[in-house]
Chain A
């Protein structure tokens, strides 16, 4: 998968094709984070193949729905449990991100994993993503934002040069 842009959350429901022996097959639902519905379906089959004994050729996708965030203006702390392949093995991880939406947090996670561990999107499997109460957060980077009277200055503001290679005057960093 290429984690292009902001990922979106999809609810994909699929089942094995019914046969004479098994006319009613159970439905399986997955919460997939993908850039679009096409990749979501693909990822659904990727995971389902690993978990159950049917695949795209022997099954069908019943529905693909994009799930919008219920409260997109509420800041939440997301705990993400994931599994990824490093160069020498595969590991589990728990990471925390602060964001407004689940998709935003998952997108942050993919970018962060790429940055910190050079993990490509295809080697990351999101196991679980839940909003976590502030008291249960474990990561200090997230905990430091849990302050009802949070206050900090902007000490060093670096401004882009606007495409210019050379500046006439020495740039300053103190401006609010």
Chain B
């Protein structure tokens, strides 16, 4: 038997036409855009019509590639990019992804005022009390039954 092993690339995300990336820096930080074409080693042409990112050159170093990918030809017009992104529901899949949710949560946490932090503390404490109570009753039961 001859086994042909498929060569596994350790990389799952590539800089390619249609790759959706998140912008890390600049006024559009946090928004997603699709890669329309590659300018050179360090820059790509991106376009994010569904998130309000204008078509522009962007440094690869400030991009964060996502697992999402859209299919369109290189240098496709913004109209075409928008149509593809909307039909693939890219903005929805991004917004519902854990990554975007964590980012939103982090920005929310950073924007808390003192009163919010007080409320957070009280809510955490209340939740932990419930969890601890349930855990300890379960522990006591098991200890009584000799299981632990």
A-side interface residues toward B, CB under 8 Å? 73-75, 97-100, 141-142, 145, 148-155, 157, 174, 176
Contacts and interface: CB of A to CB of B under 8 A. Distances in A.
A98 B60 contact: no
Contact of A98 (B40, B61, B64): B40
Which 8 pairs across A and B sit closest by C-beta, in order of nearness? A153-B11, A151-B16, A176-B13, A176-B65, A98-B40, A151-B14, A153-B14, A73-B55
A157 B13 CA distance: 13
Q: How large is the interface on B (under 10, 10 to 19, 20 to 34, 35 or more residues)?
A: 20 to 34
B118 interface: no
A74 B76 CA distance: 11
Contacts of A142: 40
A148 B14 contact: no
Nearest to A98: B40
Interface of B: 9-17, 37-41, 45, 55-57, 60-61, 64-65, 73-75
B39 A98 contact: yes
- The DSSP consensus for interface residues of chain A is loop
B40 A153 contact: no
A141 B14 CA distance: 20
B39 A99 contact: yes
B11 A176 contact: yes
A138 B106 CA distance: 49
Given A145-B38, A176-B11, A150 B17 contact: yes
A155 to B, nearest CB: 7
A26 B56 CA distance: 41
A153 B39 contact: no
A152 B15 contact: yes
B15 A145 contact: no
A150 B16 CA distance: 6
Contacts of A141: 40-41
A176 B37 CA distance: 18
A175 B64 CA distance: 9
A174 B10 CA distance: 10
A145 B41 CA distance: 8
A154 B65 contact: yes
A142 to B, nearest CB: 8
Nearest to B57: A100
A81 B89 CA distance: 47
Nearest to A74: B75
Given A150-B38, A176-B65, 18 more contacts: A74-B75, A75-B45, A98-B39, A141-B40, A142-B40, A148-B74, A150-B15, A150-B16, A150-B17, A150-B74, A151-B15, A151-B16, A152-B14, A153-B14, A154-B60, A155-B11, A176-B11, A176-B12
B53 to A, nearest CB: 13
14 contacts: A75-B37, A98-B39, A98-B40, A99-B39, A100-B39, A145-B38, A148-B17, A149-B16, A151-B15, A152-B15, A153-B15, A154-B15, A154-B65, A174-B10
Nearest to A157: B61
A153 B16 CA distance: 9
